């Protein structure tokens, strides 16, 4: 979570330990941007240290029964009353603290060391139900290792998917229980309507992807309207999803079922050649078997050919814009915005030419990367660059010359920073060639044409 105490000891009077409390009276308005960034990180480190210390104290109090002896209350009830906390929050803290002490010593050590945060520890303790407690305890190092260089949300989805696999034999499968699908709604005093829904795997994927697809269309329409009239503001993503749901419902009510064709919603599942029976969603999280069995009964398959000689993923300079097949492949590879720390989903990202088209860049997957609209704008700033390494990982260089790896599916590539990318400020100059597959610019067009013809013949013959 924090890289070997990075930024510690660089703030003078606020160099760690209890001294960080002095930030309460610190004049933030007079601090530089760098000082505020360092201080925010330092305070977060102190928060994690306090969480770890509190967990040890609460676990000891619970083991001794001190609050019951002294105040006649359980540890959680006493904490909620004395610290003015919500009862649910206090109860959850005591539960996590007890689980760390009894069963998850490695997780407790990682929390104390600052390599994970309190929310990581809470998720692991929630996974350790009695049926798979022994498995979770035995795999603590695996669960902790997955958190390295990974966004919390992506890590949580991955470890929850693992827990479902471990719990398949004895666990409860919500896909076999229609009652697990629930929807409630109500009206507020302001006349607003609130919705709350819980859907099982296949149902949830179908609804989320349908809403996001319609929200994308609404975003494009709102963007065009804003260009015509600046007074028309582009709504937030949450608003777009709400409007998309309303539009989908209205259109469904307007359809005459007897005179229409059956629905075939496009739900994207990723099926690997090595594990054809284990599909995952576009974020790389494996779905429960019950979900995929239903979805595979009536499905449109979109093959993704990722070989550099495949068709139609590689188009050289014969095509200016990425095709739908290429976009699916690039979004599957990157799993969202490739800028480290960004949480934008793949379907909400642009497909960017690393070496620009006007600079003789090719429309091949080895020259395309997923970037959200914000970070797409960042890499177009003067001095910024993003290029792909030979294995498809994005390498970024800032205007100040700092290089750093990008991320895939919310996980940043580990290891030392990448080598500085080559200087290609004069990209449009004829004869500039970069090694194929590494900071890709242009291959021999005759070799590419011959390879594609051979690939097409193989596909036709098959």
- Shared domain for 46 and 161, answered yes or no, is yes
Q: Residue 255 pLDDT > 80, yes or no?
A: no
- Shared domain for 27 and 105, answered yes or no, is yes
Q: Residue 284 pLDDT > 80, yes or no?
A: no
Preceding amide of 312 cis, omega within 30: yes
Determine, yes or no, domain membership for 435.
yes
Higher-pLDDT residue of 378 and 447 is 378
Q: Is the pTM of this model over 0.75?
A: no
Higher-pLDDT residue of 238 and 278 is 238
Q: Answer with the one of 248, 266, 301 that is the final residue of a domain.
A: 301
- Shared domain for 161 and 180, answered yes or no, is no
- Shared domain for 455 and 331, answered yes or no, is yes
pLDDT at residue 162 in the model = 86
Give the model confidence (pLDDT) of 175-198 as tens digits. 666 777 888 888 888 878 888 888
Higher-pLDDT residue of 221 and 1 is 221
Determine, yes or no, domain membership for 318.
no
Note whether 90 and 61 are within 8 A (CB): no
- Shared domain for 183 and 274, answered yes or no, is yes
Q: How confident is the model at residue 106 (pLDDT cuts 50, 70, 90)?
A: very high
Q: How confident is the model at residue 447 (pLDDT cuts 50, 70, 90)?
A: very low
Q: Residue 432 pLDDT > 60, yes or no?
A: no
Determine, yes or no, domain membership for 275.
yes
- Shared domain for 60 and 105, answered yes or no, is yes
Q: For residue 258, what are the domain limits?
A: 176-301
CB atoms within 10 A of CB 167: 17
pLDDT at residue 324 in the model = 79
**Phi, psi at 280, each rounded to 5°:** -130, 165
Give the model confidence (pLDDT) of 109-164 as tens digits. 999 999 999 999 999 999 988 888 999 999 999 999 999 888 898 899 889 888 88
Determine, yes or no, domain membership for 316.
no
pLDDT at residue 5 in the model = 44
Q: How many domains does the chain have?
A: 3
Give the model confidence (pLDDT) of 31-60 as tens digits. 888 888 888 999 999 999 999 999 999 999
CA 238, chain centre distance (Å): 17
Determine, yes or no, domain membership for 21.
yes
DSSP string over 414-439: PSSPPPPPPP-TTTTSTT----TTSS
Higher-pLDDT residue of 366 and 451 is 366
Beta strands in 313-462 (DSSP E): 350-353, 368-371, 385-388, 394-397, 403-405, 407-408, 411-412
- At residue 310, the 3 state secondary structure works out as coil
């Amino acid at each position: 979570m924090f890289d070997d105490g990075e930024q510690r000891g660089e703030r003078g009077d606020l160099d760690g330990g209890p001294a960080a409390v002095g930030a309460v009276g610190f004049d933030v308005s007079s601090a530089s941007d760098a000082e505020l960034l360092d201080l925010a990180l330092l305070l977060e480190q102190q928060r994690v240290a306090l969480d770890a210390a509190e967990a040890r104290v609460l676990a000891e109090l619970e083991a001794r029964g001190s609050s019951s002896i002294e105040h006649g209350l359980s540890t959680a009830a006493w904490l909620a009353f004395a610290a003015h906390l919500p009862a649910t929050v206090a109860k959850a803290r005591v539960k996590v603290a007890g689980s760390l002490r009894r069963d998850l010593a490695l997780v407790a050590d990682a929390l104390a060391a600052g390599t994970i945060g309190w929310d990581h520890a809470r998720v692991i303790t929630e996974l350790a139900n009695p049926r798979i407690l022994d498995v979770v305890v035995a795999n603590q190092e695996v669960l902790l290792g997955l958190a390295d260089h990974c966004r919390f949300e992506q890590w949580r989805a991955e470890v929850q998917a693992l827990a479902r696999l471990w719990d398949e034999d004895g666990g409860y499968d919500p896909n076999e229980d229609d009652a697990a699908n629930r929807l409630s709604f109500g009206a507020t005093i302001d006349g607003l309507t609130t919705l709350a829904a819980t859907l099982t795997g296949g149902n949830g994927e179908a609804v989320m992807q349908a809403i996001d697809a319609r929200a994308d269309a609404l975003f494009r329409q709102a963007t065009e309207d804003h260009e015509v009239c600046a007074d028309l503001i582009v709504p937030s993503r949450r608003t777009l999803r709400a409007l998309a749901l309303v539009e989908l419902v209205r259109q469904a009510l307007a359809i005459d079922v007897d005179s229409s064709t059956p629905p075939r919603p496009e739900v994207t599942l990723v099926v690997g050649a090595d594990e054809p029976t284990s599909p995952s969603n576009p974020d790389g999280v494996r779905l429960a078997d019950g979900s995929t069995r239903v979805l595979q009964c009536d499905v449109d398959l979109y093959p993704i050919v990722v070989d550099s000689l495949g068709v139609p993923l590689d188009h050289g300079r014969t095509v200016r814009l990425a095709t739908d097949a290429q976009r699916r492949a690039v979004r599957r590879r990157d799993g969202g915005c490739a800028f480290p720390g960004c949480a934008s989903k793949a379907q909400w990202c642009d497909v960017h030419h690393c070496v620009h088209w006007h600079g003789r860049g090719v429309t091949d997957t080895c020259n395309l990367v997923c970037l959200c609209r914000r970070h797409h704008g960042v890499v177009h700033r003067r001095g910024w660059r993003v290029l792909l390494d030979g294995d498809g990982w994005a390498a970024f260089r800032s205007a100040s010359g700092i290089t750093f790896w990008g991320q895939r599916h919310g996980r940043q590539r580990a290891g030392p920073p990448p080598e500085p990318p080559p200087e290609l400020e004069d990209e449009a100059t004829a004869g500039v060639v970069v090694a194929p597959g590494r900071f890709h610019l242009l291959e021999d067009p005759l070799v590419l044409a011959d390879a594609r013809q051979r690939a097409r013949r193989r596909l036709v013959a098959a």
